[in-house]
Amino acid sequence: MVNVPRNIRPQRQLGQCFLMDERILEREIAYAQIAVEDTVLEVGAGIGNLTERLAPHAKHVVAVECDQQFQDRLERLANVHGNISLIWGDALAVRLPSFNRVVANLPYRVALPIVLRLLNYPFENGVLMIQKAMAQHICAGPGEVGYSRLSVTMQRLARTELLDTVPRIAFSPAPDVDSAIIRIRPINSPFAVASAEAFKRLLDHLLIYRDDKLIIALSRLSSTQAIASLLPEKLRNKQVSQMTPEEFGEVSRFLDSHKVGLPTVSNTTKRKAQKLRKRL
């Protein structure tokens, strides 16, 4: 284990927890499969533990960081290695250059919006450290524990894989949760949906009734009662929690072709459904 430099003050409000276990840092590098011609993006460079391990493997490392307390340390690394470029600013707002690899220990409070932003870029391979619970949701398949709107949304956009779990004691300061390393590979042509918002409403509604057959879940809404029976038989009688992301897309296109819009599901309704599932 390496130590946090004495002059560094982790900012809890930014979710700063530094990975200090050298074995895990090296495993991240191995998972990334970096070649000498690769340009690697790192989001949340922090004290540079990962940055300095990326530099010897890649042609170019682009490190994004918003906290200026790391400036001296990161600029020193950039001067030593010569292939590190620093971008100072919010990873959700700064302009990102082209890159073909992402390797990052993401700030946990903004991990999901960062992942979704990254998927707007055409990279080949991403190895990301995020909260374990979020990783399980992102990578869960049909019928598995954790399969959710997040699972379907992410798997429409990328191939996902849970690579490793990491205990909180590997960090300093230790976060309140365990972590996991995932791999994401963007899908060039995601399957079509009516719209991102309509797809979200569909997933919100159907996954409230995840243990029902699809035809029953749709029949609970007055707007879809009349057409639910028109769905292909292979979908009608399928349990919602067993549906693949592509099948959710098929239902979305079916509803759109019949000019059917779904209402927004309130957060209160979603919380009630979640509590009920936990009791069961």
Residue 6 has pLDDT above 80, yes or no: no
Phi, psi of 277 (to 5 degrees): -65, -40
Whether residue 240 lies inside any domain: the answer is: yes
Which residues on neighbouring strands pair with residue 129, listed in sequence order?
105, 181
The answer to whether residue 280 sits within a structural domain is no
What's the whole-number mean pLDDT along residues 34-59? 97
Tokens of 67: 């906290």
Length of the chain: 280
Band of residue 1 on the pLDDT scale cut at 50, 70, 90: low
- How do residues 244-276 score in pLDDT, each as one tens digit? 999 999 999 999 999 988 888 888 877 776 665
My answer on whether 17 and 86 are in the same domain is: yes
Mean pLDDT of the chain: 92
Domain limits at 41? 12-186
* 0.75 surpassed by pTM: yes
Quick one: 8 exposed, middle or buried, by C-beta within 10 A (0-12, 13-18, 19+)?
Answer: middle
Are residue 85 and residue 219 in the same domain, yes or no?
Answer: no
- How far, in Å, CA of 19 to CA of 49, rounded? 8
In a domain, 147, yes or no: yes
242 shares a domain with 111: no
SS3 state at 99: coil
Q: How far apart are the first and last CA of the chain?
A: 42
Same domain membership, residue 93 and residue 200 = no
**In the listed set 186, 208, 224, which residue is the last one of a domain according to the structure?**
186
Name the more confident of 69 and 272: 69
| Secondary structure element (H or E) that encloses residue 103, with its range | strand 101-105
For residue 149, is it within any domain?
yes
